[in-house]
Copies of this chain bind each other. A is one copy, B any other.
């Protein structure tokens, strides 16, 4: 992004960051992991500390994502054997720890949508609520529908129709069950010897980063630039022209498709979300906290989070509609809900396109 060279607060100013800076970054993330793990162990087992436990799990995921991303982006600068062993373990841990939160956020998103669709919403023109730790990493979009209300707002079912209420109850049953299972799986994972091995590796990483012999003085920027290039290449392959036309109706094209995996169109967007995160963390390793102040990257990331959340929520509504023996009114409400979330998918693509276009234009 060339415009950064014109910016007086340019984080890229100063001497070239080297492998030493990467080591500082990895040690800091490893220390953060150990702090979160200590917090988790202190709060996780005591009664009435569920919130602290959620907070600790979130911090664990946060540091795991960053270590994992650094191993990916800066692979040539790190001991290959060490890195090859650790990377799949971090992916397993990150995936296992994220599921409980994902189910909870999905249920909250769907119940809020049902409420809004029933005209009973507290925030009538709003959709695209970003919840939980995603909100903490995200900035508000400028679009009016992104003015998210308090994430902790409890949906009120008072004014729902029978269909909407039944759909809400069905989703709550299904997603709460999934969440409970994910919680047990995460608990088991955190008590496993597999996890203890990962934690030991990270404990060592907090004091000693296995850089290659030439890494300490190697310039990090070419590797960071390669991560950015992978992102821009993937963005260039997105259908941004379509996405930039409001109400293009593309996201719902397969809304009633007989295809059991009807939304392959979402995959390139999910891929860009991951590449954007890698790019963001690569910049963090280079420039520290200053890198995370790039509002446009955060906004683009938020749009892609919203895309992913809406895509998964739409799938959950479609899946619930395949439950045997549901009432037609329930199925109808789930159909409306599915289409509403696919519309959110389309809105998120539009928001991303607008945000990305601004970046390109201001270059």
> Looking at A126, A160, A246, A336, which has the most chain B CB atoms within 10 Å of its CB?
A336
Q: Answer whether A253 and B340 are a contact pair too, CB < 8 Å, given A144-B245, A331-B331, A335-B334.
A: no
Q: Which of A202-247 contact B (CB under 8 A)?
A: 242, 245-247
User: Does A116 sit within 8 A of B, measured CB to CB?
Assistant: yes
A247-B143, A331-B329 as given contacts; A118 in contact with B350, CB under 8 Å:
no
A343 to B257, CA, bound (A): 19
Stretch at the interface among A12-20, A277-285, A320-328: A320-328
Q: Out of B145, B160, B259, B329, name the residue touching A245 (CB < 8 Å).
A: B145
Given A332-B332, A335-B331, A340-B339: A119 in contact with B247 (beta carbons within 8 A): no
A254 at interface, CB cutoff 8 A: yes
State the number of copies, please: 2
**What chain B residues lie within 8 Å of A160 (beta carbons)?**
256, 258
Min CB–CB distance A75 → chain B (angstroms):
39
Beyond A327-B328, A339-B336, is A125–B242 a contact (Cβ under 8 Å)?
A: yes
Q: How distant is the Cα of A18 from the Cα of B81 in the complex, in angstroms?
A: 93
- Interface of chain A residues 247 through 273 with chain B (CB within 8 A): 247-250, 252-259, 262
Q: With a CB–CB cut-off of 8 A, which chain B residues contact A125?
A: 242, 248-250, 253
Q: Is A298 on the interface with B (CB-CB < 8 A)?
A: no
Residues 114-155 of chain A, each 1 if its beta carbon lies under 8 Å from chain B, else 0:
101111010011110000000000000001110000000000
- Interchain Cβ contacts under 8 Å between A and B, 20 examples: A114-B256, A117-B253, A117-B257, A118-B258, A119-B257, A119-B259, A125-B250, A145-B245, A161-B258, A246-B347, A247-B344, A255-B336, A321-B329, A321-B332, A327-B328, A328-B328, A328-B331, A331-B332, A338-B339, A339-B343
